[in-house]
Structure 1
Amino acid sequence: METAQHIRILDAEGQLLARAAEEAGTEAKVPTCPGWQVRDLVRHTGMVHRWATAFVAEGRTSYHPGEGLPDLDGTELLTWFREGHRRLVDTLAGAPADVDCWSFLPAPSPLAFWARRQAHETTVHRYDAESALAGTPSPIAVDFALDGIDELLLGFHARKKSRVRTEVPRVLRVRAEDTDAVWTVRLSPEPPVSELGELTGADCELAGPAAELYLSLWNRRPFPSVTGDSSIATLWRETSAVN
């Protein structure tokens, strides 16, 4: 996907998140994030938006931590969130394509990385916010869901930080049934090695529509379908959380 597409999605998803949070109320529980209320979700996502903005806006070329969570609630918190989200969108949209700043996953450029990462960060948390409401959550486009699965498997879980490991080598297949996209994930005592494409001999397959797989791989929904050794699906559930 192009950077401009990611920025448009980030823009729309942030607005949906704020709307859902306002409708649910900041005291509402977030079923997809046990122990969190909507205020925790909004504070976290707003902090991440400001953290990301600083790298691009200030050209920071090394890691720095976020500024912490605000002591805000209710209308003031939602206004704070909307202001930070707007600044992130505007910063990314106005940044030069060759902006030099820190990033932490492979990407064509730092700008492409931050636009993609924040689009997916915000989409997953928008789904969290909508889970605090009754009704059907907003849809996720197939191409964007596939992009997010790719980022998660080939980006996040290729890092040394990934805890998805097995003593005995195993193979996990992830299949998006509404497209021809298939990922093969090799598990071992080392970080997972993933590639786009199907290899024979998978020990477990996770399958379903791309949007459902996207959310389930981020541990927001049950896996649509698990075939083969279900302990591998359980391993994913228990160890794949990204910090």
Structure 2
Amino acid sequence: MTADQRIPIPRFVDALRREGELLALAAERAALDDEVATCPGWRLRDLLRHVGGVHRWATHYVAHGRDTRLPKEEDQPLRRTWPADDGDAGALVRWFRDGVDTLTDTLAAADPHLDCWHFLPAPSGTAFWARRQYHETTVHRVDVELVSGAVTTIDPDLAVDGIDEVLHGMLPHRNRPRADPPLTLALLATDTGTGWHVTIGEDSLTTKAATADASCTVRGTADDLYLLVWNRPTAHPLAVEGDEQVLDLWRAKATI
């Protein structure tokens, strides 16, 4: 992934604020003990604690301009500040909302050229954290909406950006599919005209602009392709051509 980001920081911040509220509203329609099927082993309370903790973690780097990663003994207490009452859903959702408000206010007020610690290439620390926290919150908002009701559509340009982030930045360094000999997967967004050509090898996963030739080609809206690369259920059927085992491999092994 290059350091270029097509979407400006204020757009990410506004969208992050909206996604945080959508997640909170979806959580209020569910129960803390509800299982989150797309995050195996988690219940709703675990997801709220995770995302709320990550928001506070990200806020710390931007608010303090910290240029190195926190040691574990400081990192974990920063994330684990949720209410002590394990059964008070209202308190946990309020804690989550407070974290969204603090994060978005901090990002909105930060120097757009701030140099602070971040873990993928980006124009600045502020740009990185605005983008990363938008997508972190969005994918988990989808998880909660899948528990409690209909899933809200993601704007096409933000979905395209999220696919870029996963394919160029997140997945090459995480649990990814592997294939020897290499396999190729083309993703074509029918609403934006954007495409990605992914080569799945034993030792690497690389992405370039889409070309016509691939072991498997998948067509769908940018929103649905976003959900696919994050290994979430799509809202609409995808059009698949070629070797569907490539798509099966992706769904089995692409985990973030």
* Pair 22,229 (structure 1): closer, same or farther in 2 beyond 3 Å: same
Aligned mates of 1:140, 1:216 — CA distance in 2? 13
| 1:157-168 to 2 correspondences below 5 Å | 157-159=171-173, 161-168=174-181
Counterpart residue number, 1:240:
254
Alpha-carbon shift at residue 227 of structure 1 (Å): 2.0
Matched, 1:179 2:166: no
Alpha-carbon shift at residue 163 of structure 1 (Å): 2.7
Aligned mates of 1:163, 1:143 — CA distance in 2? 25
**Number of aligned positions between the proteins:** 239
Aligned mates of 2:134, 2:85 — CA distance in 1? 24
Q: Give me the TM-score of the superposition, normalised by structure 2.
A: 0.87
Counterpart residue number, 1:40:
46
Aligned mates of 1:114, 1:66 — CA distance in 2? 18
> Residue deviations 1:88-112, cap 9 Å, x none?
0011000011211111112121111
Question: SS of the residue aligned with 2:69?
Answer: coil
Question: SS of the residue aligned with 2:107?
Answer: helix
Counterpart residue number, 2:130:
115
Question: SS of the residue aligned with 2:219?
Answer: strand
Q: Give me the TM-score of the superposition, normalised by structure 1.
A: 0.92
Counterpart residue number, 1:13:
19
* Pair 14,120 (structure 1): closer, same or farther in 2 beyond 3 Å: same
61, 64, 86: which is aligned to 2:101? 86
Alpha-carbon shift at residue 162 of structure 1 (Å): 4.7
Matched, 1:22 2:34: no
Question: What percentage of aligned pairs have identical amino acids?
Answer: 44
Matched, 1:150 2:156: no
Counterpart residue number, 1:209:
221
Q: Specify every segment of 5 or more residues in structure 1 that has no aligned partner in the other structure, as ranges.
A: none
Counterpart residue number, 1:220:
232
Alpha-carbon shift at residue 164 of structure 1 (Å): 2.3
Aligned mates of 2:34, 2:177 — CA distance in 1? 32
Structure 2 contact 116–124 (Cα < 8 Å) conserved = no
Question: SS of the residue aligned with 1:172?
Answer: strand
Matched, 1:60 2:75: no
Q: Specify every segment of 5 or more residues in structure 2 that has no aligned partner in the other structure, as ranges.
A: 1-6
CA RMSD of aligned residues (A): 1.7
Question: SS of the residue aligned with 1:180?
Answer: coil
Aligned mates of 2:59, 2:91 — CA distance in 1? 20
The answer to which of 23-32 and 45-54 deviates more is 23-32
Alpha-carbon shift at residue 22 of structure 1 (Å): 1.2
174, 185, 207: which is aligned to 1:194? 207
Question: SS of the residue aligned with 2:29?
Answer: helix
Counterpart residue number, 2:4:
none
Alpha-carbon shift at residue 187 of structure 1 (Å): 1.7
